[in-house]
Amino acid sequence: MNLNDHRRVAPRTGAGRKAVRLGLLATIGLGAVATAASAQAAAPGSFSNNAHGVAIADNTALAHANPVQRTAFDDSFTVHQYGAVFAAAAYNQAAANSSSCSAAEPCRSVALSFQIITMAGENIHLNAQNHSRATNYHCADCQTFAGAYQFIVSTPNPFTLSSTAQRQLAEIHRKLDALGRSKDSIASVQAQADSLAAQVTAILKAGAATAPKGPGVDALAAQAPTVTMHRMLTH
């Protein structure tokens, strides 16, 4: 696994700003090229629609905290299984903001989006976009965190996630939901989200390894699935 961390300091928007932005792209692929956009979430065991070999997925988690609702949480956990495609667009976003709370009664806003996509083909044109944004507006000592996690599985021949993998992903979804009720620190929420993302990566890597290779394929010459992770953290 290759892990690349990119860090930069974001401009502060007010006293006591504590904002975290996290972007993660995990690609598990055999011959996936770059090019994607948006579609309805599919249940882990089903195939999402792909119109004439073109798949589009769009998922977003949005959370907003203010003096009326000082604690806000939203999460999205979607699985899209597209089968054979020649082009795909995937857009994933997590956005959180806190506004107008006082230092005596600060706000807390957390948004987490996990997007999982499987597709098959030899030369897929994939355009994948993964964004997160965490912002404080006139919100002293507020805590704002947004994490976007995108996982793309590409194999030469179509496959479906096993029932075991589906149950494992459903359990991870439940744990992600539980983070919304957590009173843990933002640092702990981030660590737990990263841990869940690592579990998703392991499940998808195992699933990709079982994908059919096709007739007459030399197992020794076949390219093994790879996992690439891009992570951006701003605070």
In this predicted model, what pLDDT tens digit does every residue of 180-197 receive, in sequence order? Answer: 888 899 999 999 999 999
1 lies in a domain? no
Q: Which helix (H) or strand (E) holds 168?
A: helix 163-179
DSSP, res 48: P
Question: Which 3 state secondary structure label does DSSP give 19?
Answer: strand
Q: Which residue has the higher pLDDT, 218 or 70?
A: 70
pLDDT at 45: 39
Decide if 144 is inside a domain. no
Point out the least confidently predicted range of 35-49, 71-85, 168-182: 35-49
Burial category of 4 from C-beta neighbours within 10 Å (exposed 0-12, middle 13-18, buried 19 and up): exposed
CA angle centred on 90, ends 211 and 46, rounded to 5°? 45
Domain with 177, as residue range(s), is 12-139+151-207+225-234
Rounded distance between C-alpha atoms, residue 131 and residue 22, angstroms: 8
Domains identified in the chain, total number: 1
Q: Give, for 178, the enclosing helix (H) or strand (E).
A: helix 163-179
Segment 58-77 mean pLDDT:
94
Q: How confident is the model at residue 98 (pLDDT cuts 50, 70, 90)?
A: very high
Q: Which residues contact 81 (CB under 8 A, 6 or more apart)?
A: 42, 44, 46, 47, 48, 117, 118, 160, 161
Closest CA to 25 of 36, 9, 40, 10: 36
The answer to whether residues 43 and 53 touch, using CB atoms and an 8 Å cutoff, is no
How confident is the model at residue 49, as a pLDDT?
A: 58
Could you tell me if residue 2 is inside a domain? no
- Evaluate whether residue 77 is within a structural domain: yes
Residue 130 counted as domain residue: yes
With 60 as the cut, is the pLDDT of residue 147 above it? Answer: yes
- The more confident residue out of 35 and 116 is 116
Domain-located, residue 76 = yes
